[in-house]
C-alpha cells in the first residue's frame, strides 16, 4: 500500500512538473510565431536613375523603424524624383572634389534630383551648409544611422553623406514629391 502511495505521489509530482514546463514553453512558441522577419533582399549595391531636377528640395527628415532607419527627402511638386545612391570610401563633394568627413563604419553618397535652391530665383529652399550635419535632423539613438552631412547642390542636384554603422542593405523608394531611403539594421532579417 505504501508503495502504491509513493508511486502515485511520484506520478503526480512528475505531471505537475510537465505542466509547468509546457506552460512555460507555450508563450515563447506563440511569441515567435507572431514575429515577422525583416526584409533582407535589398542588397548594398548602387541604386539610381536620372538625377538632375528643376523642383527644389524643401526638407530632409528621418525616422526609426523596427527593421531599418529611414531618411525622407521632401520635394513638393517634384513628381518622380531622380536619385543615385551608393556606398563610397569617402564623401567627395561634386562641385569641388573636396572630402567631407562622415562618421560611421560605412558612407552612403546620396544624390537627389532636387537643388537646395529655387532655380528660377536662386533663393535657398533648404538651409543645409556644406560640410555640416543636416539641419533639424537628430539621429541620436538610431541603430543604423550615425552621421549626416550636407555636401551642397550642383547642376540641379543635392548631395548628402549618410554615415551608417556598417555596409548594410538599403532600398530607395520613389513617391510623388518624396524620395525615401531605408537602411536595414542587419543582414539577417532579425529585429
Q: pLDDT confidence of 26, banded at 50, 70, 90?
A: very low
For residue 134, the model assigns a pLDDT of: 98
Tell me the pTM.
0.79
The SS3 of residue 32 is: helix
Q: Yes or no: is domain 47-184 CATH 3.40.50.360? A: no
For residue 124, the model assigns a pLDDT of: 95
Rounded mean pLDDT of 67-91?
93
Span 113-157, pLDDT tens digits = 999 999 899 999 999 999 999 999 999 999 999 999 999 999 889
Q: Which of the two residues, 21 and 75, has the higher pLDDT score?
A: 75
Q: pLDDT confidence of 2, banded at 50, 70, 90?
A: low
All structural domains of the chain with their residue ranges:
1-35, 47-184
The rounded distance, in Å, linking the Cα atoms of 72 and 62 is: 6
Q: What is the DSSP string of 96-165?
A: T--EE---SSEEEEEEES--SB-TTT--BSS---TTSPPTT---TT-SSEEEEEEEEEETTEEEEEEEES
Q: Is 25's pLDDT higher than 60? A: no
For residue 12, the model assigns a pLDDT of: 45
DSSP state of 36: P
**pLDDT, mean over the chain:** 84
For residue 190, the model assigns a pLDDT of: 80
Amino acid at each position: 500500500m505504501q508503495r502504491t502511495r509513493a508511486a502515485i505521489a511520484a506520478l503526480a509530482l512528475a505531471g505537475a512538473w510537465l505542466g509547468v514546463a509546457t506552460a512555460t514553453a507555450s508563450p515563447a512558441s506563440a511569441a515567435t510565431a507572431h514575429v515577422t522577419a525583416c526584409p533582407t533582399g535589398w542588397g548594398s549595391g548602387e541604386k539610381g536613375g536620372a538625377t538632375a531636377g528643376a523642383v527644389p528640395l524643401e526638407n530632409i527628415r528621418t525616422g526609426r523603424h523596427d527593421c531599418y532607419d529611414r531618411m525622407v527627402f521632401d520635394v513638393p511638386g517634384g513628381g518622380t524624383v531622380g536619385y543615385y545612391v551608393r556606398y563610397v570610401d569617402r564623401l567627395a563633394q561634386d562641385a569641388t572634389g573636396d572630402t567631407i568627413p562622415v562618421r560611421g563604419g560605412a558612407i552612403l553618397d546620396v544624390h537627389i534630383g532636387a537643388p537646395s535652391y529655387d532655380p528660377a530665383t536662386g533663393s535657398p529652399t533648404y538651409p543645409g551648409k556644406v560640410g555640416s550635419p543636416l539641419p533639424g535632423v537628430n539621429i541620436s539613438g538610431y541603430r543604423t544611422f550615425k552621421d549626416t552631412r550636407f555636401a551642397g547642390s550642383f547642376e540641379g542636384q543635392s548631395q548628402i553623406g549618410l554615415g551608417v554603422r556598417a555596409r548594410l542593405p538599403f532600398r530607395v523608394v520613389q513617391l510623388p514629391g518624396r524620395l525615401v531611403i531605408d537602411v536595414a539594421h542587419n543582414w539577417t532579417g532579425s529585429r
